[in-house]
Amino acid sequence: MGKGVAWILSVGNELLIGRVVNTNAAWLASKLTHLGYSVRRVVVVPDEEGDIVEVFREALGRADVVISTGGLGPTPDDITNLAFCKALGVDPVVNQEALRMVKEKYEARGYPLTPEREKMAMMPPGAKPLPNPAGTAPGILYEHGGRVVVLLPGVPREMEAIFEGYVEPVLRSRGPPVYFAEQELVVRGVPEADVAPVIREVMRMDPALYVKSHPKGFEVETPLLHIHIYASAEDRRRAEALVEAAVGRLKQLLIAKFGGRAEISTTQAPR
Q: How far is the CB of 97 from a copy of itself (least distance, A)?
A: 19
Nearer to a copy of itself, 97 or 219 (CB): 219
Nearer to a copy of itself, 147 or 226 (CB): 226
What's the CA gap between 69 and 47, in Å, rounded? Answer: 11
What's the CA gap between 106 and 108, in Å, rounded? Answer: 5
User: Rounded to the nearest 5 degrees, what angle is found at the Cα of 56, between the Cα atoms of 53 and 61?
Assistant: 125
Element (H, E) at 246: helix 236-258
What's the CA gap between 47 and 12, in Å, rounded? Answer: 5
94 binds a copy of itself (CB under 8 A): no
253 binds a copy of itself (CB under 8 A): no
26 binds a copy of itself (CB under 8 A): yes
Contact 113, 124 (CB under 8 A): no
42 binds a copy of itself (CB under 8 A): yes
215 binds a copy of itself (CB under 8 A): yes
Q: Identify which of 15, 81, 34 has the alpha carbon closest to the alpha carbon of residue 239.
A: 34
Give the x/- contact pattern for a copy of itself in 173-212, rule: CB under 8 A: ------------------xxxxxxx-xx---------x-x
What's the CA gap between 162 and 150, in Å, rounded? Answer: 10
136 binds a copy of itself (CB under 8 A): yes
27 binds a copy of itself (CB under 8 A): yes
Close Cβ partners of 43 (under 8 Å, ≥ 6 residues apart): 7, 8, 9, 10, 55, 58, 59
Q: Quick one: which of 20, 170, 186, 205 contacts a copy of itself (CB under 8 A)?
A: 20
Q: Quick one: which of 33, 68, 69, 80 contacts a copy of itself (CB under 8 A)?
A: 33
Q: Quick one: which of 100, 144, 172, 214 contacts a copy of itself (CB under 8 A)?
A: 214
Strands (E), 116-250: 122-123, 128-130, 139-144, 147-152, 179-188, 209-215, 224-233
Nearer to a copy of itself, 169 or 270 (CB): 270
What's the CA gap between 104 and 246, in Å, rounded? Answer: 54
Binding site for a copy of itself (CB under 8 A): 10, 13-23, 25-33, 39-47, 51, 73-77, 105-106, 108-109, 111, 114, 116-117, 134-136, 155, 191-197, 199-200, 210, 212-215, 218-221, 228, 230, 270-271
